[in-house]
Structure 1
Amino acid sequence: MKIKHLKYIIALALAPLVACSQAGNQDNPDNFDTNPVDFQQQIQAAIADKSCNSDADCALVEVGAKPCGGPETYEPYSKPNVDEARLQELAAAYKKERQDYFKENQIMGICVVTPKPHVSCLNNQCVASEQNLKVQ
């Protein structure tokens, strides 16, 4: 019985989000899909080809935002295989969506800094190490 009620509560909680995401594209001059999940997918698609010849071919993009500040994650990408201006636009739009969501919903979080990883070309693929021990 309780599970049945939980399903209704979840459906009611998600309904405004679905309606907002469906209406959000009408006034979007940059043709970005304003659903945060779709921003993530667009960013992942943009950086899918991580092939490289040297460390100089690799870089990191900050993805998303945390309620207390800073990015959710850093993703490696191959500079020769990405439209960097478009990637930065997508990343900035996704960051703004996340920040707006936190503000509108008064979401707070624990203030944990996501360490900026080291990026390198390993086996002809741009990869990020789990942790960079240098202070940024």
Structure 2
Amino acid sequence: MKLNKYLLLGAMAVLMSLTQSCSQANSDSSNNASPQDLYAQIQQAASTEGCSTSADCGLLPIGNKPCGGPEAYMPYSKSNSDVDALEKMGQQYADMRRQYNKDNQMMGTCQVTPKPNVSCIRNQCVASEQSTHIQ
């Protein structure tokens, strides 16, 4: 009978420890979205409307290539987007992509993604490819 009592107490201690670990993990992960969810949040937060000049527009680096550097750039309106929050989400997404590349030993072509020009066209921020031709 004493042995069952100690086994029961030991099992209860293990269960309490696991429950506490799980609740801490859940509270930590509730602040962390999946990469797909975070990318969707970035797209939603990056409003491209509401510019009057090209200076009102910004470019957010998106993701991380296996050789380094962003995968793409996303235009946004500085006046209609929360720039600090957008940059924070962009950095978090880049960190997630960097970790994914590391964990999965991803390889790439190591081509640099050119930073596009961003312009205000009809009150909307639009990215366009930079010309790489020498003239």
Q: What TM-score do the two structures reach when normalised by structure 2? A: 0.74
In 2 relative to 1, CA 118–49 (structure 1 residues): closer, same or farther, beyond 3 Å? closer
Deviation at 1:122? 0.7
Kept in 1, the 8 Å contact 2:48–2:126? The answer is no
Kept in 2, the 8 Å contact 1:59–1:78? The answer is yes
Q: Which residue of 2 aligns with 1:46?
A: 45
Give the CA RMSD over aligned residues: 2.1
SS at match of 1:120: strand
Kept in 2, the 8 Å contact 1:118–1:132? The answer is no
Deviations 1:52-76 (A, max 9, x none): 1111110100010111111010011
- In 2, the alpha carbon distance for the partners of 1:63 and 1:134 equals 25
User: Aligned pair 1:126/2:129, yes or no?
Assistant: no
Deviation at 1:49? 4.2
User: Aligned pair 1:95/2:91, yes or no?
Assistant: no
Deviation at 1:93? 0.4
SS at match of 2:44: helix
Deviation at 1:97? 0.3
What residue identity is the alignment partner of 1:61? L
Deviations 1:38-93 (A, max 9, x none): 11101100013422111111010001011111101001100001111100110000
Q: What TM-score do the two structures reach when normalised by structure 1? A: 0.73
Kept in 2, the 8 Å contact 1:115–1:132? The answer is no
- In 1, the alpha carbon distance for the partners of 2:95 and 2:43 equals 17
Q: Which residue of 1 aligns with 2:70?
A: 71
Q: Which has the larger radius of gyration?
A: 2
**What pairs with 1:54-65 in structure 2 (closer than 5 Å)?**
54-65=53-64
Deviation at 1:99? 0.4
- What is the total number of aligned residue pairs between the two structures? 110
